[in-house]
Amino acid sequence: MDARDVILAPRITEKSMADALVQQYTFVVHPHATKTQIRHAIEELFKVNVLKVNTVNVRGKMRHSARRGVRTAGKQSDIKKAIVTLKPGQKIELGGVNYFEQ
């Protein structure tokens, strides 16, 4: 798998912003990617040194809605998150803008 196929998108939330202060960054990754593939992809794309990679498989939530008297149910997609810890003093900037720092 190519590095761009492994890393799908950064996960930008309040919690990920707080974790960025201690060199931890969160990404949405390919569901079949391994920790080693994620490590190599991050190092190749962002030119940083990775200390640790933690992964989490997140189940999609069930959603219910009612429109015009018809109830429907749906499910959000399942995703896999990777929480990447970098060596001290390093940071990741995306597109010239550092989304992870305030």
| Structural tokens at position 66 | 């009612």
> What whole-number distance in Å separates Cα of residue 96 and Cα of residue 5?
21
What domains are defined for the chain? Answer: 3-86 (3.30.70.330)
* Ranges of the chain with pLDDT below 50: 102
**What's the pLDDT at 88?**
93
Residues sharing a CB contact under 8 Å with residue 19, sequence separation 6 or more, in sequence order? 25, 26, 83
**What's the pLDDT at 12?**
87
Q: Could you say which DSSP state residue 97 is in?
A: B
24 touches 84 (CB < 8 A): yes
- At 35-57, the pLDDT tens digits run 999 999 999 999 999 999 999 99
**What's the pLDDT at 100?**
57
> What whole-number distance in Å separates Cα of residue 28 and Cα of residue 19?
15
Using DSSP's 3-state secondary structure scheme, residue 6 falls into helix
